[in-house]
Amino acid sequence: MLALITGGSGSGKSAFAENRVLSLGENRRIYIATMFPFDEESHKRIERHRKMRFGKGFETMECYTGLKNMKLPKGCVVLLECMSNLTANEMFQENGAGEDTVDEILQGIRHLQEKARHVVIVTNEIFSEAVPYEGETGLYQKYLGELNQRIGDMAQEVVEVVYGIPIYHKKAEIRKGGDG
Amino acid sequence: MEMIIGGAFQGKSVYAEQHYPGVHWTSGGKISKEELFCAEGVLGFHQYIRREMRAGCEVRDLAGELIKKNPGIILVSDEVGYGVVPVDAFERAYREAVGRVCTELAGYSTRVVRVVCGIGTVIKHA
């Protein structure tokens, strides 16, 4: 099962995604962390997420670029957080995919689907702006928007979290611990 | 507690005034903390958060305090977290704080309405 969880800043989408993973049964839970810790703010952010996950049985693995090369235990449940960081990493990091970012990440997600029983992906709504962005930021929005659409198409479940309240844009009944 | 949320200029205040007749509304852009804790209804609650932060006040406990001191309040607030992460550190912190405070308040609220194009959709009714 592939689920895409989206929402705005501070909307409670991470907490929702973690609980969604817990509801998928007692498999090994792998948390794929994508935020590159480059300053104090990102360290704090990472620490906050670690505290939130504490006691929920997640093993944390870092992946900044090259998701398709990740080694994962078969049959695990993956929580990938989040698409907005991974996209920025692939676009802007030296060893990233640059203009092939969208394809590179989609390959990575297919790789996760092959290895894991369930994949839950957190992404971000950064598209409601008055002023259009140009250059790198505009391209970043374009790539992330494309990824969100493609993953939304692949997913069985697409949820927008609004202040902790789930709004289901797409939903399939998933049996607990079941395949699919 | 009840909340009416949505983007700017979507008709949230009009919706609030129509659906909650008789409620005395105050403005988040003007009221003091004491006034917030005894208000019936607040329009532009996000502006209150912004003013507090501008004044250097911590808003981490704001939701908890409000739930304790004024659990029946009706709050109207903008959703501000749907754009690109702001470059300015204050704007970035403000944007996230509105989300965190409102997420906690929505968790406590019995009813949350989201207004788009003047149309309210009940997204929570406990």
Percent with pLDDT over 70 in chain B: 100
Average pLDDT over residues B8-21: 95
pTM (2 decimals)? 0.90
pLDDT interval class at A178 (50, 70, 90): very low
Q: Phi and psi of A3, rounded to 5°?
A: -125, 135
Which chain A residue has its CA at the smallest distance from B6's CA?
A162
Q: How far, in Å, CA of B96 to CA of A11, rounded?
A: 8
Percent with pLDDT over 90 in chain A: 89
Domain range list for chain A:
2-170
Res A144: pLDDT: 96
pLDDT in tens, A20-57: 999 999 999 999 999 998 899 999 999 999 999 999 99
Res A173: pLDDT: 66
pLDDT in tens, A81-94: 999 999 999 999 99
Q: Phi and psi of A171, rounded to 5°?
A: -150, 130
Domain range list for chain B:
2-125
Res A17: pLDDT: 98
What lies within 8 Å, CB to CB, of B96 at 6+ separation is: A9, A10, B81
pLDDT in tens, A93-118: 999 999 999 999 999 999 999 999 99
Res A128: pLDDT: 87
Assess whether pLDDT exceeds 60 at residue A177: no
More reliable by pLDDT, A172 or A103: A103
What was the ipTM of the complex prediction? 0.89
Kindly tell me the sign of the dihedral angle through the C-alpha atoms of B38, B39, B44, B45: positive
Average pLDDT over residues A125-138: 88
Q: What is the CATH number of domain A2-170?
A: 3.40.50.300
The superfamily CATH assigns to domain B2-125 is: P-loop containing nucleotide triphosphate hydrolases (3.40.50.300)
pLDDT interval class at A2 (50, 70, 90): very high
Work out the mean pLDDT of chain A and round it to a whole number. Answer: 93
Work out the minimum CA distance from B97 to partner chain A, whole angstroms. Answer: 7
Mutation site, B103, B110, B112, interface A, largest A CB count within 10 A: B103
Res A38: pLDDT: 86
Assess whether pLDDT exceeds 90 at residue A174: no
Per the CB < 8 Å rule, is B96 touching A128?
A: no
Res B64: pLDDT: 98
Q: Give the B-side interface with A, CB within 8 Å.
A: 3, 5, 7, 79-85, 89, 95-100, 102-103, 105-107, 112, 114, 123-124
Query: For B83, which of A128, A162, A164 is closest by C-beta distance?
Result: A128
Percent with pLDDT over 90 in chain B: 98
Work out the minimum CA distance from B25 to partner chain A, whole angstroms. Answer: 23
Assess whether pLDDT exceeds 60 at residue A176: no
CB A155 within 8 A of CB A122: no
Q: How does A109-119 read in b/e, with b if 16+ C-beta sit within 10 Å?
A: beebeebbbbb
Res B33: pLDDT: 97
Res A66: pLDDT: 97
Least confident range of A128-132, B34-38, B116-120: A128-132
Res A180: pLDDT: 43
Per the CB < 8 Å rule, is A10 touching B114?
A: no
Res A134: pLDDT: 87
Work out the minimum CA distance from B60 to partner chain A, whole angstroms. Answer: 12
Average pLDDT over residues A138-167: 96
Assess whether pLDDT exceeds 90 at residue B94: yes
